[in-house]
Amino acid sequence: MKKSFLLLPILTVLLTGCVSQSEYDALKQENESLKGKVTELQSQQQKAAEEQSNLQSQLQKQTEENTNLKGQLQKENEKLKKQVGDLQKSNQELKSKLQAKNAPPKPKAQVAAANTNSPIEIDTLYRNFYKSYNGKTVTVTGVVYNTSNYFDGPQIHILKEGTTKSITIYADAANYEIIEDDKILVTGVATINGRNGEIEIKYPTSIKRM
């Protein structure tokens, strides 16, 4: 009897420490399932890593292509800007040429026509102007003492030597190469300026250096 009582606890311990076959099979099946999931997740992770690497490679390639394209566009823009500038310059030159072509010709120096009358002295012209010379063609000689370019046109001022009498000739001195101290012979229609009583020849038919 005493021996039977001793074997009972040992048998109890052995029975409670063992796992049934069904539990073992269930645990084994779960373990296999988990291993399969781990393998699948590892495969998915590797695939995702490869896709990420491919995307990074594509992104880098696209970035390089965009950089190259930007450089090409900048060069093309600079080229187009230069072409626009050249065209604007060419158009301006063409416009200037057309304006110059359509502009009325500048008066050119002409040799004074032969006159049967001697050139009129300035003091004589002043003294007899209203009676004899207003609105008539006269030939006047004198020394240039000033040239100017006022609002009403380029002017050459001539004066009789030794006097203060002067006449204003409305003509561009540069076109005739007239400078101060030149002695000139002018032929044109004489009129008088109503504002200050100065005698004028507005459109001389000829100017000649003497």
pLDDT at 164 over 70: yes
Residue 1: what pLDDT? 47
Question: Cβ contacts of residue 158 below 8 Å, gap of 6+?
Answer: 122, 140, 142, 143, 144, 145, 166, 167, 169, 184, 186
Looking at 73, 103, 133, which one is the last position of a domain? 103
How far apart, in whole angstroms, are the C-alpha atoms of residue 198 and residue 210? 24
Under 8 Å between Cβ of 140 and 129? no
**Whole-number pLDDT of residue 177:** 79
Q: Are residues 167 and 140 in the same domain?
A: yes
Residue scoring higher pLDDT (8 or 202) = 202
156 and 202 in a single domain? The answer is yes
Q: Bigger pLDDT: 170 or 197? A: 170
What percent of the chain has pLDDT above 90? 3
Element (H, E) at 25: helix 21-102
* Range of weakest confidence among 20-24, 160-164, 170-174: 160-164
Per-residue confidence (pLDDT) for residue 2, from 0 to 100: 44
Cβ partners under 8 Å of residue 159, min gap 6: 122, 142, 143, 145, 165, 166, 167
Domain assignment present for residue 17? The answer is no
Here the tokens at position 55 are 């995307």
Where does a domain end: 71, 103, 135? 103
Q: Is residue 118 scored above 70 in pLDDT?
A: yes
Question: What is the distance between the alpha carbons of residues 168 and 145, in angstroms, rounded to a whole number?
Answer: 11
In the numeric block, which tokens belong to residue 173? 């001195």
Compute CA 36 distance to the chain's CA centroid, rounded to the nearest angstrom. 72
Indicate whether 92 pLDDT > 80: yes
Last residue of a domain, one of 51, 71, 103: 103
In a shared domain, residues 127 and 203: yes
Residue 98 phi, psi (nearest 5): -65, -40
